[in-house]
Structure 1
Amino acid sequence: PALSGDGSVPCVTCHKPDEGWSLSSSISRGYPGISHWLNSQTILNTANLGKLFWDGHKLSLEAQAPSAAQGLSGNGKSDMMEQRLYQVPEYRKAFKAIFGSDRNMVKDSWRAIAAFERAMNTPETPFDQYMRGDKGALSADQVRGLKIFEGKGRCIMCHNGPLLTDEKYYNVGLPDQPQFWDDPIKQAGHRSQMYSRGQPEYMFRKTNTHPGVYLSTHLKQDIGKFRTAPLRHLEYTPPFMHNGMFDDLEAVIDFYNKGGDKDRTLRDYGIANKTKRLKKLDLTDGEKADLLAFLESLSGDEHLLPTPKLPAPAVMTATESTFSRK
C-alpha cells in the first residue's frame, strides 16, 4: 500500500491471487476518482514475456512496476513513497539486509517486485503432460480440440510457443466496450492517458477506442493493435480480451468463429487495420465444445500464496532530525 498516492492502491488491487493474479472486472481499477482503460492481465509468466502491457510499452519488470504505482493507476509520487517507506523501521531493516542500504528504497522496491514476479509462474497443466508423452493426460474431446486449435480453428497462427502467444500485435475488430460510451470517469482516464503519451487532439478529445500499440510506435498501421494474449491459466483469468469484452471462453470462441467483428479503427481513425488472419471458421457446435475443452487443459492448479504479514501504517515512527527542537 505504501507504493501509491494515498496508500490505498497496492498491486493486489488489480492482481488478486484468487482471481488468477488478475482482476475479474472487465476494466482494471485506477486511483480513486479516476479509472483505468484496459483489462488487468495476470502477473503469472510475465518474466517470460519480451514486452509488457497490452501495447508492449515497457521492456522489463523493473520498468513495469513504477508504471502501475504512479500515474492514473496508483498516483504515487516517488519522493512521498520514499519517505513513507523510510518511516517504517521494519522496511529499513529489510532493505538494508537485502540491498545493502535504506536509501533509494523506492527504486529497490521496483527491483523487489520484479524479483517476486519472476518467481510467479503457472503450475504444470494437463496439456504440458500430454506434450511430454502422457497421452492419457487429455480427454478425447480435448485431443479433438487440440487438432481444431492447430487446424480449422487457426488459433495456433497467433497462439504458439511456450506461453501460447507469438507476442505480436493485431487488430481483431473487437466490439466497443460500452463503459467508454457511458462512463465519463472512464473516458477521462482513457483520454488523459492518450494525451500524456503525445497523441494529437483529434484522437484524445473524442475517441472511445484505444489505439493500442500506436501509442508506442506512432505508426498509423499500428492503430488498434494489441499483443496476442498468452493462454495459460485461462480458467482463472476472465474476463477476456484487452477491453474485457467477453466474460467467458464460449464468447471468445463465438467471436473468432465469425471472423471477429467490424474494424472500429476505420470508423474512429479513418484507417483499416483489422488483421487479414481472421476468417469465418464455420465451426460446428461440437467443434466449439471440443475447442473449449482443449482450452481448459491449459490451466493447472490454482496458484495461491499465503497472505504475507505486512507492517501496518501505524508502525511508522518518527526518525531523528538533523536539527534540534530548540
Structure 2
Amino acid sequence: MKNRTTLKLSAIAASFAVVLTATAATGQTFPPLAPLPPVPSPKDNPQSPEKIALGKQLFWDSRLSGDGSMPCVSCHLPALGWGDNNAISRGYPGTQHWRNSQTILNAAYYNKLFWDGTSTSLESEASSAAEGSVAGNGDPSVMEMRMRFLPEYVEAFKKVFGAEWPRMNDAYRAISSYQRTVVSDASKVPFDRYANGDRKALNDAQKRGMTLFNGKAGCIQCHNGPLASDQKFYNLGLPDFEGFKTDVLYQVTHRWEHYQKGVAEQKYRSADMDYGLYFQTKNPKDIGKFRTPSLRELKYTAPYMHNGVFKTLEQVVDFYDAGGGNAANKSELLKPLGLTAQEKADLLAFLDALSMSEPLIHDEPKLPGAYQPLPAPTK
C-alpha cells in the first residue's frame, strides 16, 4: 500500500487544470511537476496554532540537546535555507557529523526522511536528531526534566496536550507541527504560478529549461510530482567528501557510524565510503544509494548532495551532463546528456523557478526564562 502522503500528492497533481508534459527522452512518462498540495498531518498529531507556537519554541530551545548548545535551529537556520550551509553538518561539540544537513523546507511532504530514509515521519525524525550521538546528543529523560522545571513549558504542554508535565514524545509532536509550517508559498514560486495558469510567470529561458527538464536532460525521471522527488534511492557515483580521508574527527565519526550500523568488520575497518541505503538493508545492490532530494528551494539550500560535494548548481548540472560519476552499481538512468552551454543555462533558469522569489524566514521566538524549583510536595 502506498504511503498516504504519496497518494495525496499524486491525486492533487492530477487534478490541476494546467497539466505539464512529463515525458523523458526515453519515451517514459512520469508524474508531472505540480504545485504542492495542502500540508498533510497525521491523525494522531493534528495541527493547532498553540501546538505550532510551542513547537517553534522547542525548535529554537538549546535545552533540548545534550549540553545545551545544539537546538534544532543550530543545523537548520532560516537564513541559510533551513540547513547550515556546510558540506557536512556541524557535529555535537567534540565530534563531527558525517552527512550534509538537509534542509527541512517542505520536509512535511516526505514519506522518507534523512538521506537514507531511516525515518518515515517528522515525529521520529525529530527524536533521532535530538538524541543522535553526533547531532543533538540529548538524553530524553534529562531533556524532559529540564522542561518540567520551566513553568512556561509546564503550562503550555498542559494546554496543548492535557499533560500534567511536559513529555518528550509530546515535544517531538509539537516540533513536527511547527516543521509542517516550513513550506514553500506557491504565490512566490514562479513555476507554481505558471502551473496555476499565470503564463507570464516563467520567462522564455525558464520555459526552454522546463522542456529540457522533462525531456533531453531527463531530470523528470527522478525529480517528479509536486515535491520534485520520487523519494526513491539511487547511486550516482558521487565523489567522496575529502575530509573523511584527512580529518581525524571526521574519520572517528565515519568509522563509528559504520560500526554502530552493524556492517561487517572488513567494511568497518576500511570505512572507505558512505554506504547509504545499504546500512539499512545490508543488500549489496543498495551500496551508495541515497534518497532523491526535492528540487524545491534549491536557490537557498547549497551545498548539494548527501556529502555536500557540490557548492553550486552549475557543478550539479555539469555532473549530470557528464553522466554522473563512477560506481559499480551506478544508476542506469545516468548517461551523458550532451547539453550545450545554452541548454545548461536554460535548465539552471528553470531550476531557479522552483524556488520562492524570496527566502522563507521565521523570526526567533521568545523562550522561557530561568529554571524554577518545583513546588514542595504536599503532605
TM-score range (shorter-chain normalised) is over 0.9
2:348 matches 1:284: no
- RMSD of aligned alpha carbons: 1.4
Other-structure match for 1:305:
362
Preserved contact between residue 5 and residue 77 of structure 1 (Cα < 8 Å): yes
2:74 matches 1:13: yes
Distance 2:180 2:279 in 1: 26
| Mapping for residues 165-244 of structure 1, pairs under 5 Å | 165-244=229-308
| Residues 282 and 78 (structure 1), Cα distance of their counterparts in 2 relative to 1, 3 Å cut | same
Q: Deviations over 1:230-261 (max 9, x none)?
A: 00001000000111000110000000010011
Counterpart code for 1:114:
S
Gaps of 5+ in 1: 264-271
TM norm structure 2: 0.81
Distance 1:40 1:102 in 2: 35
Counterpart code for 1:87:
F
Counterpart code for 1:306:
D
Preserved contact between residue 171 and residue 224 of structure 1 (Cα < 8 Å): yes
Q: Deviations over 1:85-137 (max 9, x none)?
A: 11111111111111111435211110101111112211221001111222211
Distance 1:141 1:115 in 2: 38
| Mapping for residues 84-163 of structure 1, pairs under 5 Å | 84-103=146-165, 105-124=167-186, 125-163=189-227
Distance 2:239 2:300 in 1: 23
Preserved contact between residue 116 and residue 290 of structure 2 (Cα < 8 Å): yes
Distance 1:211 1:81 in 2: 32
Counterpart code for 1:72:
V
Distance 1:83 1:208 in 2: 41
Preserved contact between residue 148 and residue 166 of structure 2 (Cα < 8 Å): no
Other-structure match for 2:375:
320
| Residues 291 and 96 (structure 1), Cα distance of their counterparts in 2 relative to 1, 3 Å cut | same
Deviation (angstroms), 1:19: 0.8
Count of matched residue positions in the alignment of Structure 1 and Structure 2? 314
Distance 1:191 1:18 in 2: 32
Secondary structure at 1:143's aligned position in 2?
helix
| Residues 284 and 311 (structure 1), Cα distance of their counterparts in 2 relative to 1, 3 Å cut | same
Which stretches of structure 1, 4 residues or more, deviate above 4 A after TM superposition?
321-324
Deviation (angstroms), 1:194: 2.2
Deviation (angstroms), 1:323: 9.7
Q: Deviations over 1:166-217 (max 9, x none)?
A: 1000000001111111111111112212222212221122223110111111
Distance 2:310 2:282 in 1: 28
Counterpart code for 1:116:
Y
TM norm structure 1: 0.93
